[in-house]
Amino acid sequence: MTLVEDDAQLFDADDPFELFDRWFAEATASEPNDPNAMALATVDAEGLPDVRMVLLKGHDPRGFVFYTNSQSAKGRELAGQPQAALLFHWKSLRRQVRVRGRVEGVSEAESDAYFASRPRGSQIGAWASDQSATLSARSVLEGKVSAFDAKFDGAAVPRPPHWRGYRIMPAQIEFWRDRRSRLHERRLFSRADGDEPWASRMLYP
């Protein structure tokens, strides 16, 4: 996709979720791999930042949703400090979206529904993996996969109690696009409370 330098419509929206929907649709059409990939940043008990790639599995005006093992490093960090930041980087479009805000768990029904939609191998893996714990050998994990595969043979795989969804409820959403001479374009939406209207302003590159 050719970068259009003078596209005045690119940032034209009063609601950041409307703008995100538009950008995400364009990324889905143009990005060759995982347009829903996003970097998730958290902090541990000592305040040391941590970041990893996860996949966006839902978004609406309530926030941005991903799923994981609540006993993993990120799950423990979110339990201790339920705030996070996200970064979407769509290289094909030369655009980024940054999100910062509080985090809450999604409902049990939402977690159940998404887990049921996953491939069976991924469902088994959610039971077999003690995510972020020390693994003595790959064969240990493979043995656990085989054991759970046998346990649920011929039956639907239930959602593990430690596997759940999280929703980042943004206080800030920033849209960025590349421009010539590093004179990039940035628009920041922010609000102090989820019931307040969004305020927006342009930022220096």
CA torsion 73-78-83-84 (nearest 10°) is: 30
Antiparallel, parallel or unpaired: β 49-55 and 37-43 = antiparallel
Helices vs. strands in the chain: H and E counts, helices first: 5, 9
The DSSP output letter for 162 is: T
The DSSP output letter for 158 is: P
What are the angstrom distances between the C-alpha of 155 and each of 14, 82, 145?
Answer: 48, 35, 15
Residues 135, 158, 83, 33: is their CA dihedral positive or negative?
Answer: positive
What positions carry a catalytic annotation?
182
Q: Which residues neighbour 16 within 8 Å (Cβ) at sequence distance 6 or greater?
A: 170, 173, 175, 189, 198, 200
Reading the block at residue 133, the tokens are: 């714990």
What are the angstrom distances between the C-alpha of 46 and each of 71, 82, 137?
Answer: 18, 14, 29
